Amino acid sequence: MARLTVERLFSNPPLTGTLPTEIRFAPGGDFVAYLKPAEEDRERLDLWRLDLAEGTHRLWIDASVLTDPDAILSDAEKAERERKRLFATGITTYAFSPDGNCLLIPAGGNGYLYDIGTADLRRFTPEDSRQTDFTFSPSGRYVSYVRNGNLYYYDREADREMAVTNDGGGLIRNGIADFIAQEEMHRFEGHWWSPDESAIAFTRTDESTVAVSQRYEIDADAIRVIEQRYPYAGETNADVSLLVHELAGDARHTVDYRHAPDDYLARVAWAGKRLAVQVQSRNQQTLYLDFHTPGVTGRDTVIEERSDTWINLHDNFRSLDGDRFLWTSEREGNAQLYLYSNGEPTRLTSGSGRVEKVLHADADRVVFSGWAEDPTEQHAYTLSLAGGDPVRLTADAGWHDLSVDTATGRCIDRHTSLTSAGAVRIIDPTTGSTPLWPEDGQADPYAEYLPAHVTPELGTLKAEDGQTLHYRLTRPASGGEAHPLIVYVYGGPGVHRVRNEWAPLLLQLFAGRGFGVLELDNRGSSSRGPAFEAPIYRHMGEAEVRDQIVGARFAQSLDWVDPERIGVFGHSYGGFMTLMCLSKAPDVFRAGVSVAPVSAWELYDTHYTERYLGTPQDNPEGYERSAVFPYLDGLRGRLLIMHGMADDNVLFTHTTRLIKALQSRCFPFEMMAYPGSKHALQERSVSIHRFNMILDFFERSLPG
């Protein structure tokens, strides 16, 4: 029986990701396009198509003909990849023109147009240039993009490029989302076409307002001093303006979106000839939805959401017809769906479940994803805007991710569960379900490891305040008693890890080496509503740690777990949690691996940190209590710290400060730094090295 190894997990062909990604109906619905890793290179994605009538799959566009693996990425491309957590190369995204006759393919910093009828593929961006943020206009006549901080668009009919801005470069960037918007608001757009293509709204970011801080980027051959405009908690953010450029005559209007000088530009969309702008206050306790008419002074504020803690942003605004639009809000508990008409809201959903994402909306109905009873599952629902109860579209238990064909109402459903690595099907409202993947006879590269595969199990515990905590438990592959157990933790807000889905195969590495693994979504985790998230407000690393202790105590009660051999492992917020668990509960956690940890929250950025802690100026006690340093005297167990030495998110300074504090206490620990690696540590060689080291560390630190 084959045992999974670290080397095999990160080698070709990929054991995970055998299902396609970015699956989309072509306009007209005759075929489906998708991305799939190349057999010879798991990190490169190629574009494929499936002709539905014939049921045949074929490689459509080979990414190797579009990209140069040795090309040097621009700083904007590096930032985009890091913020979007893009670890693949080749074709990572694509778009159909609205008429379905053409494909837009960004690849290697260039823009390509592919004529579907003639199979003509041509590059339309200039030679020796690199671009990001490619976007089709609503009719497909124009393609917009950003180069060297300036916004351009290409007119397909006239075959010419037009510049929207010319002041970009250095500290000025036009048409591209700023660091805070991308990293913390998950707004990746920096420009938006009007429905009639007469205008394009765009952001202009001036980073001169952010103080210069220096950090070292260390790789194998050099040490560089990077002057970074990093907006530390409590400090000044970049100045983000919103403008509207009219294509005819080049008139330009500034949209005065701020209610207060330090407000955030959270979301932008067009609603007919007006801009729908979501504005978030600096303390994130107020969110406005305003309508602006370009060139006209003033705003129409139609929604003002308020919270005593913070307001979670969403992407569920949908403009319908007239003054009608859709909106989700947590004002009455977990996120529910509302229909606004002439400024008046009607609540469309109810119950204790959650509306997660609006997938499609038209004048008559809405399709959305979320959960009704069990937060470990995700399903899709359709709902008539005229009233009635939502109708569930997805039948099988597990986790469903859907995309909707707006023309026909068909859905592509990508489904996984604890017992299924995944399947893709078409859900047709009239004809039912049609399976697409896996293909008949398709080889499964994981097949030889299936006999040793351990299926995780789900369960619930109770937090100290009575709220339900969900966990996922993976038993060791070998039977018997007295096994060590690893608590694999993230623990931070914005993440929901415990799901009824095909679990990361990393868990099988631990199981195959005789470890059990426990994952628990503590209070503060996402997708459970304000009451579940609120306990971390103004002080982090407290309720979360107490919940992880509840999970570890439960594990200690199991007859196959050695209660004296409990370890903890996490990355980023999980690295912070590892340090807090080891320091606050040394009688429970005997060893830990802390990867890229936050050690002091004043070293992290404004939007994320202030959402939960406020500013260091107004909550100094909360910042002190939420740092790891006051608790390091409690450390007793074995500790391994890992960090990328070019991390521009959780800066390496977090770890150097931690190292100094541990050395001053004469506390022995192990350390591994990765030159040139950023926060995700995604390079194949780095992944193989660090996970082999982690397994070895736990085997040495939690011996039988």
Q: Which residues are catalytic?
A: 572, 647, 679
Neighbours of 119 (CB within 10 A): 9
- Long-range CB contacts (< 8 A, 24+ apart) of 101-107? 101/140, 102/140, 102/156, 103/33, 104/134, 104/136, 104/143, 105/47, 105/61, 105/66, 106/131, 106/132, 106/134, 106/145, 107/63, 107/66, 107/67
Task: List the one residue out of 544, 539, 613 whose CA is nearest residue 585.
Answer: 544
How far is Cα 159 from Cα 90, in angstroms, rounded to an integer? 26
* Angle, CA 484 vertex, CA 481 and CA 487 arms, to 5°: 130
Task: List the one residue out of 537, 539, 618, 536 whose CA is nearest residue 234.
Answer: 618
Q: Which residues contact 441 (CB under 8 A, 6 or more apart)?
A: none
User: What HEC string does 512-525 produce?
Assistant: HCCCEEEEEECCCC
Q: What separation in angstroms does the CA of 181 have from each of 77, 111, 146, 185, 306? A: 16, 24, 16, 5, 20
Count of CA atoms in the C-beta half-sphere (13 A) of 483 = 24
How far is Cα 402 from Cα 427, in angstroms, rounded to an integer? 10
Task: List the one residue out of 339, 348, 419 whose CA is nearest residue 381.
Answer: 348
CB 28 within 8 A of CB 53: no
The CA dihedral of 496, 498, 500, 502, to the nearest 10 degrees, is: 90
